[in-house]
Amino acid sequence: MRLLNRYILKQLLTPFFFSLLVIVFILFTQFLLRAIDRFLGKGLDLPTIFEYLFLNLGWITALAVPMAVLVAALMSFGQMSEDNEIGAMRSSGISFTAIIKPAIIVGFIIASILILFSAFIMPEMNFKARMLSGDIYRKRPDMNIEPGYFMDDLPSYSMIIKDKEDDVFKEVRIFSKGSSNTQTSIYSKTGKLSTIDDAIVLDLFDGEIHELDVKDYSNYRRIEFTKHKITIPADDLFLSRRDTTSRSDREMTLGMIKNKRKDMFDRINIVKSRIGKAFVRTGIDSLVPLDFSTSEIILNSYLENFKSDTSKIESEIYRKEKDIDIARRQLRNEYNLLRSYSKSNNKYLVEFHKKFSLPVACILFILTGASLGVLFRKGGFTIAIGLSWGFFLVYYILMIGGEDLADRNILSPFVGVWGPNAILFLIGSYLLIYTVREQPPLKININPFQKFFKK
């Protein structure tokens, strides 16, 4: 039995590593084609380029591993079934559950490694990749100028152009920024931007300069020019690395997500406390209704009862109306804030579950892929990649849809993230049961249709 387990592991691991390399190569090539414009004209050294590409391999690998597991299961079990090895094992008294057991163990090992990778290593890679991408983007400001958009990357100046042909700007407008005593605006028909070792050079043609003294508006100067050159010192031309603690949800480890959610719960409790105090100030007991519409109904009902009390004088009713109106405005703001905090909390909870759901899918893909491989009795790479691509595409669409619904508070994070895994588990279990019983997964009785057509 130990020899058989080794053989099955060899049949599974070889196509796994092969398909993993192929899938990573395809995804990495697609990413490189989209990102190559960030490198062109930036004057980056090779280590920086390789670092940026390596950091983005994190999310590519996390996405490729489950698909590679499915391809490997389809290829290995499809090939063994095509070569009648599965039938020979069964005829020797070995059940299909014993045959698939080593593959499931491999799935658990891959899932465990991927959980650790997704929880601790990939967030750091995503964070450093985003930081480096922003630093590269700012390295050469001339590459970022688009017609009709303000450019604020230049030190001391903002600039906007109407059109651009190759490296020539048309209808250039430049405005000084900062706390200078003189406000300067420059207009030119054409212009060019170039860089030297430690500065940015703006060559402007056929334009005029307007200077206004901020302290004395009567002090105004207008200068016409045929050619004007602006030299702006810019230390940022050389790639400078930023260090910041601000991270998105996909750049957080499990500990960071836990601390962030604790902070969100503290903020939610503070808002709920303010809501209760707002009710108390109006004379109602400390309440925290589920939403603003319920709060408004309570306030209106209380005000109507207060007005119907004949012992209340007109001035008391007027003050109570004012108090209710103030409380209504405060509650509207508080519930909007509460909704925002709840949405942020859901976003972090979704990311928390995602770090486990995608790795666990590797085990489910083993069940599904092994059963499909035995049923189709084909072990070719083309067939395996085609079937796995279809399955993984459906799974990924369901996962993205569930994540989006959970982020918008339509579904709970648990249901939104684990729902696709539940569907995949049902499909895999269904296929596995019928493969163990050596029956086709969809048994259709065609006798009623034959009798109908004979009549």
- 54 and 12 in a common domain: yes
* 447 assigned to some structural domain: no
* 180 assigned to some structural domain: yes
- 407 and 288 in a common domain: no
Summarised one tens digit per residue, pLDDT across range 395-409 is: 999 999 999 898 888
- 80 and 6 in a common domain: yes
Edge-to-edge strand ranges of the sheet holding 220-233: 157-165, 168-176, 182-195, 199-213, 220-233
**Number of Cβ atoms within 10 Å of the Cβ of 415:** 14
* 258 assigned to some structural domain: no
Distance (Å, whole) CA 196 – CA 237: 9
**pLDDT at res. 446:** 41
Summarised one tens digit per residue, pLDDT across range 164-198 is: 887 788 999 988 877 677 888 999 999 988 766 56
Start-to-end CA span in the chain (Å): 56
* 255 assigned to some structural domain: no
* 119 assigned to some structural domain: yes
Range of weakest confidence among 121-130, 176-185, 298-307 = 176-185
- 124 and 59 in a common domain: yes
Region class of 377: left (phi > 0), else alpha (psi between -120 and 50), else beta: left
Could you tell me the pLDDT band of residue 452, with boundaries at 50, 70 and 90?
very low
Entry pTM: 0.74
**pLDDT at res. 236:** 47
* 242 assigned to some structural domain: no
**pLDDT at res. 442:** 52
The Cα-based distances of 223 to 188, 210, 213 in angstroms read: 12, 7, 15
- 214 and 296 in a common domain: no
**pLDDT at res. 414:** 93
* 81 assigned to some structural domain: yes
- 285 and 223 in a common domain: no
- 131 and 19 in a common domain: yes
**Number of Cβ atoms within 10 Å of the Cβ of 63:** 16
Residues 6+ apart with CB under 8 A from 168: 190, 191, 192
Where among 216, 237, 258 does a domain terminate? Answer: 237
- 158 and 116 in a common domain: no
- 78 and 178 in a common domain: no
Distance (Å, whole) CA 364 – CA 373: 14
- 153 and 217 in a common domain: yes
Distance (Å, whole) CA 64 – CA 358: 11
Mean pLDDT estimate for the chain: 85
- 102 and 18 in a common domain: yes
* 358 assigned to some structural domain: yes
Could you tell me the pLDDT band of residue 454, with boundaries at 50, 70 and 90?
low
Domain count across the chain? 3
Q: The domain containing residue 302 runs over which residues?
A: 266-348
- 258-283: b or e for each residue (b if 16 or more CB lie within 10 Å)? eebbeebeebbeebeebbeebbeebe
- 160 and 71 in a common domain: no
